[in-house]
Amino acid sequence: MCSQPAPPMSSPHNVPRVRFDRHELAGAFGDIGTDVPLLIALVATCGLDAASVCIVFGALQIATGLLYGIPMPVQPLKAMAAIMLAQRLSPGILAGGGLVIGGAMLLLAATGALGWLARVIPREVVRGIQLGLGLTLATLALREYVGADGPAGYLLAGVAVFALLALGRQRRIPAPLVVMGLGVLYGFVRRHEDGSLLPSVGLRLPGVRVPTWEELMQGALLLALPQLPLSISNSVIATSQTVRDLFPARAVSVRQIGLTYGLMNLVAPWFGGVPVCHGCGGLAGFHALGARTGGAPILYGAMYLLLGLVLAPGFTQLVRVVPMPVLGVVLLVEAVALMMLVRDMAADQGALWVALVVAAAVVGLPWGYVVGLVVGTLLSLALRRGWMKVPAVEVAEPSQGPRCGTEHDAGGI
């Protein structure tokens, strides 16, 4: 009697929307390398309340996991965070900026403007944005994170990369959990040497913050206006494309992403939360470390809820148990997964050329996302209509060596 073939381990049709297992737990750390440093810096530098930040951030992660049923990330708005840290702006201005950008994105989504932009902007431009963000994250990981603890940090990062590669082919013990375990063990040893092992504990609830009219205006000009182009290109359009790349059976429209982006930012600032977005980098990071359902962001959000409700007084102290070199390795994995998406442009030299130009603009220019988005779209249009032609790059065939009876035959045998 013939045996029945074994069913596939997983397919888009039999994977549940929410699952809790070791692979979802491993994937839950896929975005920690970008989130934790920004949240720590905002709390420490700008006077944000740690309990409010963690509770709201965790609740939004959980809600997003339940709503989408895929590892859709929730991330702090990076441009806003960078401006806040550079100018040391007040929490009220941050709340004002979050409300303004939330309202703007909700309006763009509701009117169909986001859908129109997604149709107009070519795929190669989106790939260039993804590649540029990946290069930026990789540079940050290698320059700022991996060497943070000196020679010991480099050694730890090397061990972490080796563990990820060596254990990556088996599914029994997820490699990311091993890496995070090594990092936490290293962090506890270092903190014990510093005499700062036990964090402060105390029950906390989020506070309520009502921005003034002046804070709304300042937030709009200083924070929302610089953030909006980045959010449209990376947080909405590129994230929608990344969902189609990684979860083709569960595609999410730019309108859906824009709606949840807007709603999150119309809620979070009232309770002291940081303005947030979705992001293609976080999605790639979750997926690269093994997450396939909404279980990963739910588990990730539960960690922040626990930090905010119980451990907020020792938030900065506790999260530093996870060492920067390990965060750097996680961030590097996220970056490489994001950069790999450009591979489908390899067959079209013109599209690849546009993607590389956009990536270079993202990495090297002020307002690089805006410049790349506009210039890349115009270049792609010009190429498709034959108005211009990309420089040809000839690749020589591999040499087969000298053949008998030719001018290369020195011996004449």
User: Tokens 């260039």 appear where?
Assistant: 128
The answer to whether residues 273 and 37 touch, using CB atoms and an 8 Å cutoff, is no
C-alpha to C-alpha distance for 129 and 368, rounded to whole angstroms: 9
How far apart, in whole angstroms, are the C-alpha atoms of residue 38 and residue 338? 20
Q: d(Cα 277, Cα 261) in Å, to the nearest integer?
A: 6
Of 196-200, 208-212, 344-348, which one has max mean pLDDT?
A: 208-212
Confidence at 265, pLDDT banded by 50, 70, 90: very high
For the record, the structure tokens of 267 come out as 């809620």
For residues 261-280, average pLDDT? 94
Percent of the chain with pLDDT over 90: 32
Give whichever of 12-21, 58-67, 218-227, 351-360 has the largest mean pLDDT: 58-67
pLDDT value of position 332: 84
Span 18-44, average pLDDT: 85
Report which residue type is found at 328: G
The rounded radius of gyration (Å) of the Cα atoms in the chain is 24
Q: pLDDT of 281-295, one tens digit each?
A: 889 889 988 899 999
Over 50: is that where the pLDDT of 15 sits? yes
* Bridge partners, 276 (sequence order): 76
Q: What is the pLDDT of residues 117-129, one digit of tens each?
A: 888 888 888 888 8
Ranges 123-127, 189-193, 300-304, 406-410, most confident: 300-304
Which tokens sit at 411? 């011996």
Give yes or no for a contact between 132 and 280, defined as CB atoms under 8 angstroms apart: no
Residue 202 is predicted with a pLDDT of 64
46: region left, alpha or beta (phi > 0 left; psi from -120 to 50 alpha): alpha
* Residue 410 reports pLDDT greater than 90: no
Nearest to 233 by CA among 371, 384, 68, 396: 371
Cβ-based burial of 375 (10 A; exposed 0-12, middle 13-18, buried ≥19): middle
Q: Report DSSP state, residue 275.
A: P
User: Are the beta carbons of 103 and 269 closer than 8 angstroms?
Assistant: no
What is the Cα–Cα distance from 58 to 306, expressed in whole angstroms? 9
Q: Name the residue ranges covered by the structural domains of the chain.
A: 22-116+133-217+248-341
Greatest mean pLDDT range, 181-195, 329-343, 376-390, 394-408: 376-390
* Under 8 Å between Cβ of 72 and 65: yes
Angstrom distance (rounded) from CA 276 to CA 3: 52
58-62, 124-128, 316-320, 344-348: the lowest-pLDDT one: 316-320
What average pLDDT does range 107-117 have in this prediction?
92
- In whole angstroms, give the CA distance from residue 340 to residue 342: 5
CB 132 within 8 A of CB 303: no
**DSSP structural state of residue 313:** G
Q: Is the pLDDT of residue 180 over 80?
A: no
Comparing C-alpha atoms, which of 33, 356, 357, 360 is closest to residue 180? 33
End-to-end Cα distance, the chain: 63
Report how far residue 296's alpha carbon sits from residue 377's, in angstroms, rounded to the nearest whole number: 35
Are 333 and 106 in contact, with CB atoms under 8 Å apart? no
Q: Which residue type is seen at 185?
A: L
- Main-chain phi, psi angles of 196, to 5 degrees: -125, 50
Where does the pLDDT of residue 407 fall: very low under 50, low under 70, confident under 90, or very high at 90 and above? very low
- Of residues 345 and 99, the one with the higher pLDDT is 99
Residues 37-62 have a mean pLDDT of: 88
3-state secondary structure 48-60: CCHHHHHHHHHHH
d(CA 146, CA 139): 10
d(CA 308, CA 322) in angstroms, rounded, equals 17
Q: What is the mean pLDDT of residues 156-163?
A: 86
Residue 141 has pLDDT above 90, yes or no: no
Mean pLDDT throughout 236-248? Answer: 91
- Residue 78, Cα to own-chain centre: how many angstroms? 10
Report the C-alpha gap between 340 and 411 in whole angstroms. 48
Burial code (b: 16+ CB inside 10 Å, e: under 16) for 304-316 equals: bbebbbbbbbbbe
